[in-house]
A and B are shown apart, each in its own frame.
Chain A
Amino acid sequence: MAQMVKKDDDRDEEADYSPFVGIEKGAVLQEARVFNDPQLDPRRCSQVITKLLYLLNQGESFTKFEATDVFFAVTKLFQSKDIGLRRMVYLMIKELSPCADEVIIVTSCLMKDMNSKSDMYRANAIRVLCRIIDGTLLTQIERYLKQAIVDKNPVVASAALVSGIHLLQTNPDIVKRWSNEVQEAVQSRAALVQFHALALLHKIRQNDRLAVSKLVTSLTRGTVRSPLAQCLLIRYTSQVIRESSTSNQTGDRPFYDYLEGCLRHKAEMVIFEAARAITELNGVSSRELTPAITVLQLFLSSSKPVLRFAAVRTLNKVAMTRPLAVTNCNIDMESLIADQNRSIATLAITTLLKTGNESSVDRLMKQITNFMSDIADEFKIVVVEAIRSLCLKFPLKYRSLMNFLSNILREEGGFEYKKAIVDSIVILIRDIPDAKESGLLHLCEFIEDCEFTYLSTQILHFLGNEGPKTSDPSKYIRYIYNRVILENATVRASAVCTLAKFGAMVDSLKPRIFVLLRRCLYDSDDEVRDRATLYLNTLGGDGAVVETDKDVKEFLFGSLDIPLVNLETSLKNYEPSEEPFDVKSVPKEVKSKPIAEPTGLRAPPAAAPAPTVDTYERLLSSIPEFSSFGKPFKSSAPVELTEAETEYAVNVVKHIFDGHVVFQYNCTNTIPEQLLENVSVIVDASEAEEFSEVAVTPIKSLPYGSPGQTFVAFEKPGGVTAVGKFLNVLRFIVKEVDPSSGEAEDVGVEDEYQLEDLEVVAADYILKVGVSNFRNAWESMDPDTERVDEYGLGSRESLAEAVGVVINLLGLQPCEGTEVVPNNARSHTCLLSGVYIGNMKVLVRLSFGIDSRKEVAMKLAVRSDDISVSDAIHDIVASG
């Protein structure tokens, strides 16, 4: 009760000074009637407008009717000469954003103000008018605006320029005509005018690269006075640098001197803008970077938080790619860990984690522990990720880092945060053998009290793979079986799997595992019971202790070497019959390469879109002419033979057989008034000597919109990678179709349509098949089949481009994510695998190097099932 009274007191007190206590829309709208009084009271009117603005500002909204009403009333106030009131009227009109027919009422008043003697009237009238008018009215006042841009009063000029920037979006053609005036305004002595003029001028010219480049060239030589304009110019300059991108012969970057000069500007915002621009230059050299880092380092010890934040944020970004460049700042950075501003402290820590050396790790961890509890989850994730990469860099320090991770794992946190920690621990376990046992125990403790089903199941799966290989697997059993007792069905089911894996791998544990699995047979959930039954049977749980045979281990642990998508489509196509589904019939080819860094718990990336190998096979086997060819070795992705949106759309799929090649032309007729008959492709194989045509199957009728296929088959020498170029012409009989009846005419005209050329290349004889462990696969191949040679690839844009070209040329599957080349890398190793025609396994190891002149050299090492295949791969590269 006392509380209530106290509150009322507050109210009263507030009422003393707030003019808006108990303010209510209806009442204020009533008050707005004073606008219509014949004898205006400016002070009172101002107060009412303030109240209206206050209501709008608090989030109150007016109905259409109320807004119109207020608008008309407000327009009456133009009669008053009171400056203050006029100013409020301007504000009110902007807030109400009247519709077109209402605008007309105020235009004349505003235009009068635009030509008033008072600069304040003029500036504001311009801003209001430009905010509310449309294109036609704009042409009427264009003349005044052009004058205003070069007005000697800076406020007026700025008002016109800023309005121009806004109007450019809606009426670009009109504003573009003001170029000359804007250009003049760029030379203004008033700082802000210069800034606004430069912004507008650039916006007018932004689609013309040459003009922007000229603008930058002339202004960087001259003197731009305003710091804000200087910042703009720095942005435009880096844009020009980015787009020109080629440094000249001496290796100097154009305009770098200008950016470097800005580092000595007297305004901090300009110094910072320039420093940031330098750090963001493409492929910035250490020499270019140093002066920028030096000024940022000075900012780190500034008394202003904003300056420290800006500097540490930029340095943090630099540290991601160039940690060495930032190490000089480490001492200043360390003092920021205790910064009152937590954002600054977090950025400092993550920077240090990227740049730190082995000796500083322990000290850093101590400092971080103190501060982890009072930052937000998003920052924590950043810290965890930084710690993970630090640990991989200094494996000897795993103990303190692992302890840190397990400590924070026990604290409160959301899913994303916990997942980041678990992922990190898993990666450390994988990469640092010494860390395995302690890491697994930390994870075990975590699942004892884990609220996230996803994390529990992932950890159980991981435990099943890693746990049995440790020195004392039995100590994990308790944790796993606890899950069977305490958790939900999903977690219980994966716990059963984990138990089974321990049973299969560790014979001494088998009897105990069987006891536990048998208990699971009484589980309330189907899936849990099913799994327990399955494992008991496969492991021989009904009999005595038996040696688990290889098949069972393969079944439990073997990786499914079939892309999941392929399996899914095959299962969908399977029709229930006497014949059981055969996993071996699922195609193994991976269509598009999955590019994903293997991180943490995520399963090995599965293939993307479903290949249509199945459908091709069925289609081809249904054509009698091709039945003798056998199974196709490979079907290529469709290659377009026509431009988009032409009359006839044709693409081709190359089916490679052992002794034949079949081209499947998919044709679409895109003209409703035509019916095509007897459609075939005439292939000129004169540039493909080893091929001879054996069969053609035309399309009988190709009506509008429904695609059809015509095939051309060639014979070629078996087992040889015959290559060649084929010229194609589409031949058909065209018949006019009456659009109203849909009836075709009886008589047709023979016609031809030129298609693009088609090539059969070496890569067509190679299947993309990945291997999970390249090193093992490589070791298991006969070293005698190895062929090594070196090639020069000439000058290339970047290493990544060279790697991409070779991968495409060979048509092999990149393994272990090695197709991704880190930025600025000078050398790179790429691992490829696949199957060559004749079911020959091929593994390729590519080592690339790039020199300062962008010349790329490559070492190619091949191992395969047959030495002739290794030679063939070299031939492909040599001739490519």
Chain B
Amino acid sequence: MENCPSVKNLLLLDSEGKRVAVKYYSDDWPTNQSKLAFEKSLFAKTQKTNARTEAEITLFDENVVVYKFVEDLHFFVTGGDDENELILASVLNGFFEAVTVLLRSSVDQREALTNMDLIFLCIDEIIDGGLILETDGTTIAGKVASHTIDEGAPLSEQTITQALAAAREHFTRSLLR
């Protein structure tokens, strides 16, 4: 247990258990087939549970999985058997909150698919090769959003977070100059 907390995968599945976006960091599932099998059985196992208000948790194939559902999106974070459950939950929470901010509060599959680039960037900002990069949802969203703001777009079209993130970046840049 002297190891750093690590995450084995982040999954975002739709209401039928199909992939929206997934990222694996562990060699436990070497082929695409084994990954799909994992997703399928995990989805079947958790489908009927109510993970909408609070994140839920289960032991699955010697792994701890924490998960949360919103509309037709299912968020999962998998860690090893002896991982601190609360650390995994904080990763899940960061993932979920960041996606909520990025999709401008209408969190569903449709919105996720149209903003696929944001989802990919978001996953990239949470975990790097299994290690936790950041767990705060707004910070993660800020890092993702700062890239996508069209500099010329009128301020009114930006969300508050984006505006804040942009402002923060402008500010830091001016300081560094």
Q: Which of A117, A155, A303, A309 contacts B173 (CB 8 A)?
A: A117
Which of B88, B113, B117, B173 has most A Cβ within 10 Å?
Answer: B117
The contact string, 1 if C-beta is below 8 Å from chain A, for chain B 95-120, is 00000000000000010011011001
Is B114 in contact with A19, judged by CB distance below 8 angstroms? yes
A272:B86 contact, CB within 8 angstroms: yes
Q: How large is the interface on B (under 10, 10 to 19, 20 to 34, 35 or more residues)?
A: 35 or more
Assuming A91-B124, A228-B132, A231-B84, is B19 touching A57 (CB within 8 A)? Answer: yes
Partner of A162, one of B87, B133, B149: B133
Q: Which residues of A contact B113 (CB under 8 A)?
A: 17-20
Closest to B146 in A: A120
Contact B133 A192 (CB under 8 A): yes
In residues 266-311 of chain A, which contact B (Cβ within 8 Å)? 268-269, 272-273, 276, 303-307, 309-310
Contacts of B90 in A (CB 8 A): 269
Residues of B within 8 Å of A310, CB to CB, are: 57, 84-86
Nearest CB of chain A from residue B54's CB, rounded to whole Å = 5
Q: Are B147 and A84 in contact (CB under 8 A)?
A: yes
Within 515-535 of A, Cβ neighbours of B (below 8 Å) are at none
Tell me, yes or no, whether B50 is within 8 Å of chain A by CB: yes
* B31-79 with Cβ < 8 A to chain A: 32, 35-36, 49-50, 54-59, 66
Q: How far is the CB of A37 from chain B (nearest CB, A)?
A: 20
Task: Indicate which residue in A49, A228, A341 contacts B58 across the interface (CB closer than 8 Å).
Answer: A341
Considering the chains assembled together, what is the distance between the CA atoms of A772 and B177 in angstroms? 86
The listed residue with most A CB atoms (<10 A of its CB), out of B1, B134, B172, is B1
Which of A46, A276, A304 has most B Cβ within 10 Å?
Answer: A304
Q: Judging by beta carbons under 8 Å apart, are B87 and A228 in contact?
A: yes
Docked-complex contact B2 and A202, CB < 8 angstroms:
yes
Question: Quick check: is A400 within 8 A (CB to CB) of the other chain?
Answer: no
Within 8 A of B (CB), among A183-198: 192, 195-196
Question: Are the CB atoms of B128 and A46 closer together than 8 Å?
Answer: no
What 0/1 pattern do residues 158 to 177 of B give for CB contact below 8 A with A? 00000000000100110011
Please give the distance in Å from B93's CB to the nearest CB on chain A.
Answer: 10
Q: How far is the CA of A278 from the CA of B164 in the complex (A)?
A: 43
B117 partner, pick from A17, A46, A269, beta carbons under 8 A: A46
- Answer yes or no: A118 CB below 8 A from chain B CBs: yes
The answer to whether A87 touches B121, judged by C-beta atoms less than 8 angstroms apart, is yes
Is B89 part of the binding interface, using a Cβ–Cβ cutoff of 8 Å? Answer: yes
A309 adjacent to B57 (CB under 8 Å): yes
Q: How large is the interface on A (under 10, 10 to 19, 20 to 34, 35 or more residues)?
A: 35 or more
Find out whether the CB atom of B2 lies under 8 angstroms from the CB atom of A236: yes
Asked if A88 and B116 sit within 8 Å, CB to CB, the answer is no
Q: Is B129's beta carbon under 8 Å from chain A?
A: yes
**Residue in chain B with minimal CB distance to A161:** B131
**Docked complex Cα distance between A228 and B129 (Å):** 17
Nearest chain-A residue to B90 (Cβ)?
Answer: A269
Write out the residue numbers on chain A whose beta carbons fall within 8 Å of the beta carbon of B36: 59
Q: Is A443 an interface residue (CB 8 A)?
A: no
Assembly CA distance A268 to B177 (angstroms): 40
Asked if A607 is an interface residue, CB under 8 A from chain B, the answer is no
Q: How far is the CA of A303 from the CA of B54 in the complex (A)?
A: 8
Contacts of A309 in B (CB 8 A): 57, 85
Shortest distance from the beta carbon of B16 to any chain A beta carbon, whole Å:
11
Contacts of B85 in A (CB 8 A): 272, 306-307, 309-310, 313
On whether A206 and B129 interact (CB within 8 A), knowing A192-B134, A340-B49, the answer reads no
Assembly CA distance A267 to B134 (angstroms): 16
Q: Name the CB-closest residue of A to B61.
A: A378
B135 within 8 A of A: yes
Q: List chain A residues, Cβ under 8 A from B147.
A: 83-84, 86-87, 120
Among A94, A196, A231, A343, residue most surrounded by chain B Cβ atoms (within 10 Å): A343
Task: Report yes or no: B116 in contact with A54, Cβ–Cβ below 8 A.
Answer: yes
CA distance A3 to B3 in the complex (A): 53
A387 contacts chain B at the CB level, 8 A cutoff: no
Q: Which of B84, B135, B143, B177 has the most CB of A within 10 A?
A: B84
Residues of B with C-beta under 8 A to A153: 172
A46 to B55, CA, bound (A): 33
Known: A19-B113, A120-B143. A84 touches B148 (CB 8 A): yes
Q: Pick the contact of B19 from A49, A53, A58, A340 — CB < 8 Å?
A: A58
In-complex Cβ contact of A59 among B32, B133, B143, B176 (8 A): B32
A123–B56 alpha-carbon span in the complex (Å): 33
Residues in A neighbouring B19, C-beta threshold 8 A: 57-59
In the complex, whether A127 has a CB less than 8 A from a CB of chain B is: yes
Q: Contacting A340 at CB < 8 Å: which of B32, B50, B177? A: B50
User: Cβ of A232 < 8 Å from any Cβ of B?
Assistant: yes
Contact string against A for B residues 121-164, beta-carbon threshold 8 Å, 1 for contact and 0 otherwise: 10010001101111100000001001111000000000000000
A119 at the interface (CB under 8 A from B): yes
Give Cα distance in the complex from A166 to B89, angstroms: 24
Query: Does A306 lie within 8 Å of B116, measured CB to CB?
Result: no
Contact A166 B87, beta carbon cutoff 8 Å: no
Contact across chains for A19 and B116 when beta carbons are under 8 A apart:
yes
Cα–Cα, bound, A343→B67 (Å): 14
B121 in contact with A91 (CB, 8 Å): yes
Contact at A50–B116, with CB atoms within 8 Å?
yes
Q: B144 CB to closest chain A CB, in angstroms? A: 8
Determine the chain A residues whose CB is within 8 A of the CB of B2 once the complex forms. 202, 206, 235-236, 239
Contacts of B135 in A (CB 8 A): 228
**A57–B21 CB distance below 8 A:** yes
**In the assembled complex, B5 has its CB within 8 A of some CB on chain A:** yes
How far does the Cβ of A743 sit from chain B's closest Cβ, in whole Å?
55
Complex Cα spacing A749 to B158, Å:
95
- Check A343–B32 contact: CB distance below 8 A: no
Q: How far is the CB of B146 from chain A (nearest CB, A)?
A: 6
Also in contact, A199 and B129, with CB within 8 A (given A17-B114, A19-B113, A120-B146)? no
Q: Is A57's CB under 8 angstroms from B57's CB? A: no
Contacts A117-B176, A155-B143, A340-B49 known; A57 to B84 CB distance under 8 Å? no
CA distance A87 to B66 in the complex (A): 29
* Chain A residue nearest to B173 in the complex (CB): A117
A199 touches B4 (CB 8 A): yes
Contact between B54 and A305 (Cβ–Cβ < 8 Å)?
yes
Cβ of A165 under 8 Å from chain B: yes
**Once the chains bind, are A341 and B56 in contact (CB under 8 Å)?**
yes
Cα distance, A239 to B3, chains bound together (Å)? 10
| Known A117-B176, A162-B131, A306-B85: A53·B120 in contact at CB below 8 Å | yes
Closest B residue, CB atoms, query A346: B59
Are A165's CB and B4's CB within 8 A?
A: yes
- CB B165 to nearest CB in A, in angstroms, measures 10
Bound CA–CA A305/B124 (angstroms) = 27
Most A CB atoms within 10 A — which of B2, B22, B36? B2
With CB as the reference atom, state the residue of chain B lying closest to A237: B2
The residues of A that contact B66 with a CB separation of less than 8 Å are 306
Of all chain B residues, the one with the shortest Cβ separation from A340 is B50
Q: Which residues of B contact A709 (CB under 8 A)?
A: none
Q: For residue A664, which residues in chain B have a CB less than 8 angstroms away from its CB? A: none
Chain A residues positioned under 8 Å from B49 (CB to CB):
340-341
Question: What are the residues of chain B within 8 A of A86 when measuring CB–CB?
Answer: 147
CB-CB < 8 A to B32: which residues of A?
Answer: 59, 61
Q: Which of B5, B54, B110, B173 contacts A231 (CB 8 A)?
A: B5
* Complex-state Cα separation, A58 to B50, whole angstroms: 27
In the bound assembly, the distance between CA atoms of A310 and B66 in angstroms comes to 11
Additional 9 contacts, C-beta under 8 A, given A192-B134, A236-B2:
A20-B113, A57-B22, A88-B117, A165-B4, A231-B84, A307-B85, A313-B85, A341-B49, A341-B57
Which residues of chain A have a CB within 8 Å of any CB of chain B?
Answer: 17-20, 46, 49-50, 53-54, 57-59, 61, 83-84, 86-88, 91, 94, 117-120, 127, 131, 153, 155, 158-159, 162-163, 165-166, 192, 195-196, 199, 202-203, 206, 228, 231-232, 235-236, 238-239, 268-269, 272-273, 276, 303-307, 309-310, 313, 340-341, 343
The 7 closest A-B pairs by CB, nearest first: A59-B32, A269-B86, A310-B85, A87-B147, A17-B110, A306-B89, A239-B2
6 A–B contacts, CB within 8 A, in A order: A58-B19, A59-B32, A87-B147, A87-B148, A88-B121, A119-B172
